[in-house]
Structure 1
């Protein structure tokens, strides 16, 4: 489809500016001369060693203090480990201290402070909390000016990014460092006035690696990664710290405990993360900036993708301009020869993994102030292929490459523009806002954008699939975080901006109130669309119906293996999964926010009863047999298998069946019902149903929800034999959920008692069921279990795997 560009194996040393220049080669057997920079460095390529020359000790013995940032230059390529190319470890302030003939590297503890207090108070706080000495080395030379030299190799050979623990947490086995198989890459040492860069190749070994490691490594018993070590000059005191406001839409990662605060001020506070952005004319409402924020696109990204990433990233320039900063933000291609892990560059890295996975936007922060000194974006290279496949599933593979508005290639590139803008937003200090898709105009790139496809007169309109540019919410967050108004108190200005956003009806819902299945925040949903979740679910189901009605050979490119059709159908058959979650969130929904006292938004409000009941009815429609069936001629096309070795990218994306290599429509139907039940029957939701009906007898109650499910699922009257079997599939999933809820400990006593009672009632209704032998046998089987001892319900708890959906 396209030719991937190869990144160079070694970066050239760059001049202090951004223009690259060649570096004179040092003979491998010789020790290089000292290179002056942030601190002086001398490499010994023959022995694989590197020396650092630090300044004369101060009164406390400190010879150098720097912001230290480890990261990964060459990773594993496996989703779920976090060990990807360009991934970052934790940034720390490291102090090198001389004691006798030893140099100790200590990570400072900046979380606990006594700011502005006396030396005695500050010393008391410092003595109350631990620091971390993480390495020591011998002084190798003392110089006439008082400076000292130390062999820094041991510091660089540490497990600086916690590889051993990350592999273990990811279930990949127990690994240990192998120093004899690790070395310093002397040619990757870069020395500049404000940063020094080192690179090591570090190997980790295991006698019993997980089998999955062997898919990405030539020998799973030995993993070798390239680790980047960046030492960065600590920022000066000119940065203006910004206290975090929970309404601001910014991500607060700097938590401070200040023991010197007054009694009427909280001891614990948070600082917003942001770049230092200064106007050349601070008194002007609009002004050019002293130093713009520049993000650089990885040269490893293919040309067409590179252009899409630049275009999407540049959307932020408008927001900064509206905040009063002229030419403050831009996106460019990384200069040729520059290393993507060089701390001088904000990077948009193009990352390859075995399977599709999440993209990220992170930053290197000064832990003392929240100043962002470097932004790092990681974009998974398989995301665009998933989007293209979805559009080919909706529209047909013959549309690809046409260049028209419904070309899946063009739609996938537009999704990449959103992805670039989204992850750069995180690197700028901005949080997710999963409520933004409910605003008119989809007001933020910081939501997860599902393609908004509209069903019109039996056709699919993709013209509005994605928006272009950042939205109103994004402009608010940039103004709040970076803007200023000369002559105005900055704290009052930000409070007024937050109040103005609330007055406009903007809601902010972040990860903690969205990702849990049991979240009760009705605006917190990912990959959804529209101001009315129920109305949009109806549209989504119609889009799904149209796409499935014509799904077949035309959804594969010519010459593609027929087995691929089994993968393409998954996101189309489950096209409703995320809008279903948005609808289920309305049930027992409680609209609460991140308010502050006095802003008028302190009280949480329940979703009205009519909306909750309409949502319940919409979900019943999703699990109706007519929505789960697949026509026979399509089923005949879905049972082709792939010969040869299994491919991980293919295998994990399929419906898991129980009929060998043949496509199993029952498992597909079971997965479709799973995406309803996992949210609707989350314990938190059932508990809240009890509470809301206690407070308001007219509200939707837990008994009403369970009775409605019984009415929907107990019988099969009026269904054809093929539909009746699909009803039994969904019925089985419901019984499994009842059994799991009854045995668990997450329900409150009333909710648990109600579930137990509903299960017994459901079982009695099933035993009264009539129909053919299959229906009677199934209903009697489940009925006998549910009306029997709870201890026997364990047989019903059969898990149903749902193929991966996110990220899309």
Structure 2
């Protein structure tokens, strides 16, 4: 009933252009490559979605909007701001091809003024009478964002207005994004911006404007000087796309938590019956229609076509096309023939033209996230344009990692372990992954645990297998979309003639649950304290702890022969400091996967009545095995490096600093030379940040309350204390690494005691464990280095709260760890 109401309401209360059609983003290449109307004479009108006239001398854009309807609206359009040219700094959200928020904009004439209003479609009274609809509209505010004086009213009722002021707004919130990135308090500088008349494009279903906008600050963040010639002035090219509203032929789909789709359209229906939820979610998807709706398999009216940015080098373009085209398999299996493909963007086409689904090749100062997103109709969830942003330095990071594993001489050989070959294969995965997001699909971070790595929507770590003293790359990456991907495409896009769509989707979800497919998304994976044992990024294997042994073995082999051979000939020897980081921390993500087993709870996204509603605690034996594996990662034997390698890692670099390198190194405390202790501290941080996350410690108390035989908090802390407490018969070089890890543990205990996230019971156990650990350290024996550190840590762990605070100040819990993600791929979309 709820679905029927949404379908009926998709056009309720909305003014749609008569005979409107979906935008051309899905069209074939021949249609999509059609050009705008011919360049007019100065001041000449160009007719398309609406009339446009550009005054190049004054830098103004005038539009001619249709006669107002009964509600006074001159026209409604999807409005999509974005960036044709960005800042080039990771983490700001001001990248080339980046998007602002999609809005439904209504132009309304009141008196002699035209107002631009962003409509509020989240709150509705669906399938209701006018009084209910009006009450909801009066309860939740729209946003009037601009007004301008009407220049002329035509004989046909059309209205002419100068729209320049609307286009000159901070449509992408550049000021707010710069402030959030702590880059300064900027303000718009209108006299330093202009309308780029050459980028004004007029088509039947979309109109494109571009403005150059400058923002200034008297006190900009110093980081901006690295990417701008004048840090007090940031200039952006802002794209403004007006897109014809899709007609009411699209069928919205209610989101199902088991579906693996990303629901970005939330609807609050105040007219919902009492037996229906007030809040519902609509899945995002393209409109895909068969030429023969009655056929189980049929060609489609308009295929979904993604275009690779011509800015990508030819070899990379080819890899992106090959990987992206993997999705054609899934659509074909769902019954859609020739429904999906990836091609190169037609020459001369603009990557931000709303007619094109784009795979954009984005340059930044440092490596960063790639994203896959879409322009959606906020009323229905229909995707009208897909936008993928791929960071151009990601493939170089992958190649560096592979060269760190096998040596630079293997590059270009074409062999199984060729770093170039492997990096291009990873690019294929990256293309498929981000396109998947643009198609409406969520991450599935459990996919590496079933059906032979079942989804490109997981973050794929290369599966390298230790075979004696050699590394086997034969199974490094999969090819093609996986079983989970085929299911999600079928759920989201598939149909079965004569079968109720909602019932079909529910049956599909139940079927994959019965097969043992798991689905874990971002919210249950990214937090360090996540308890979902199958939610991990960049991991491999059905058994995380068993695979951990292989991961450590790969790391040992790579480190045992690591040296100058891992650099290309002629490269600065100091580059070894960067290359060794992902090799020394090669186990970091599998460590997290193992840590999730401790206090782990396998919970899913069930619906009432599907038989999968109950969560299951990870068995005690698996939890204890995981704990032992983590203790192995803290062993000095695993943390040590060869003396000759340490000497090589102390080579310096002259000349200007390189930001790409600066942020990728272990932070040391030994001036310019390499500091093995800081590397060991970073490796121990990888263990402690997951194992000692407050949520995990609280859960250890709860699970033992319910089952006394389960792994408990006291047992975990006692085991860590035993592992790091004594140097025993260790050699002096290994004893110092043990002390490094011991100090990290003490710092964590101090921070936990002073924090506010533990339950009272967990807090009591941690305090008691800290005191016991301190007493244990008072009895330690060894050389002066050993006894001195033991005495220092014992004093603060058994002393006053002030002593604990002092420890936290001198030995902060947040040990810097060089950035890992995104190593080779991944996104926040």
TM range (shorter): over 0.9
For 1:569, the equivalent position in structure 2 comes to 580
For 1:365, the equivalent position in structure 2 comes to 376
For 2:43, the equivalent position in structure 1 comes to 32
1:805 equivalent to 2:820? Answer yes
Separation in structure 2 between the aligned mates of residue 609 and residue 323 of structure 1, nearest angstrom: 42
Separation in structure 2 between the aligned mates of residue 25 and residue 423 of structure 1, nearest angstrom: 36
2:109 partner SS: strand
Q: Which runs of 5+ in 1 are unaligned?
A: 1-13
Distance 1:471 1:372, change over 3 A: same
1:312 pairs with 316, 320, 323, which one?
323
> TM-score, with normalisation over the residues of structure 1?
0.97
1:702 equivalent to 2:717? Answer no
- After superposition, give the CA deviation of every residue in 1:97-147 in whole Å (9 maximum; x if it has no partner): 000110000000000111111111111111111000000000011111111
For 1:620, the equivalent position in structure 2 comes to 631
1:143 equivalent to 2:160? Answer no
For 2:289, the equivalent position in structure 1 comes to 278
1:771 equivalent to 2:782? Answer yes
Correspondence list, 1:185-264, <5 A: 185-264=196-275
Correspondence list, 1:414-433, <5 A: 414-433=425-444
For 1:438, the equivalent position in structure 2 comes to 449
1:90 equivalent to 2:105? Answer no
2:573 partner SS: coil
Separation in structure 1 between the aligned mates of residue 227 and residue 661 of structure 2, nearest angstrom: 15
1:529 equivalent to 2:543? Answer no
Separation in structure 2 between the aligned mates of residue 226 and residue 244 of structure 1, nearest angstrom: 36
CA contact (8 A) 2:327 2:340 kept: yes
CA contact (8 A) 2:151 2:161 kept: yes
Distance 1:15 1:420, change over 3 A: closer
Aligned pairs, number? 792
CA contact (8 A) 1:69 1:90 kept: yes
CA contact (8 A) 2:37 2:46 kept: no
CA contact (8 A) 1:256 1:268 kept: yes
2:435 partner SS: helix
Separation in structure 2 between the aligned mates of residue 22 and residue 276 of structure 1, nearest angstrom: 24
Deviating above 6 A after TM superposition, structure 1's stretches of 4 or more consecutive aligned residues are none
CA contact (8 A) 1:254 1:370 kept: yes
Separation in structure 2 between the aligned mates of residue 539 and residue 631 of structure 1, nearest angstrom: 21
- After superposition, give the CA deviation of every residue in 1:429-481 in whole Å (9 maximum; x if it has no partner): 00000000111310000000001000001100011111000000000000000
1:353 pairs with 361, 364, 371, which one?
364
CA contact (8 A) 2:372 2:387 kept: yes
1:783 equivalent to 2:794? Answer yes
1:652 equivalent to 2:663? Answer yes
CA contact (8 A) 1:625 1:726 kept: yes
Which structure's relative contact order is higher, taking Cα pairs within 8 Å and 6+ residues apart? 2
Distance 1:296 1:528, change over 3 A: same
2:612 pairs with 601, 622, 627, which one?
601
Correspondence list, 1:409-488, <5 A: 409-488=420-499
CA contact (8 A) 1:314 1:421 kept: yes
2:509 partner SS: helix
2:131 pairs with 120, 139, 151, which one?
120
For 1:5, the equivalent position in structure 2 comes to none
Separation in structure 2 between the aligned mates of residue 204 and residue 503 of structure 1, nearest angstrom: 55
- After superposition, give the CA deviation of every residue in 1:209-268 in whole Å (9 maximum; x if it has no partner): 000001000000000000000000000000001000000000000000011111000000
CA contact (8 A) 1:286 1:325 kept: yes
CA contact (8 A) 1:216 1:354 kept: yes
Separation in structure 2 between the aligned mates of residue 781 and residue 803 of structure 1, nearest angstrom: 28
1:33 partner SS: coil
Deviation at 1:796, TM superposition (A): 2.5
Separation in structure 1 between the aligned mates of residue 710 and residue 86 of structure 2, nearest angstrom: 53
1:553 equivalent to 2:564? Answer yes
- After superposition, give the CA deviation of every residue in 1:409-442 in whole Å (9 maximum; x if it has no partner): 0100000000000000000000000000111310
> TM-score, with normalisation over the residues of structure 2?
0.95
Separation in structure 2 between the aligned mates of residue 186 and residue 490 of structure 1, nearest angstrom: 47
- After superposition, give the CA deviation of every residue in 1:679-714 in whole Å (9 maximum; x if it has no partner): 000000000000000000000000000000111111
For 1:103, the equivalent position in structure 2 comes to 114
CA contact (8 A) 1:440 1:531 kept: no
Correspondence list, 1:277-356, <5 A: 277-356=288-367
Across the aligned residues of Structure 1 and Structure 2, the Cα RMSD in angstroms comes to 1.1
Of 787-796 and 47-56, the range deviating more from structure 2: 787-796
Separation in structure 1 between the aligned mates of residue 806 and residue 747 of structure 2, nearest angstrom: 9
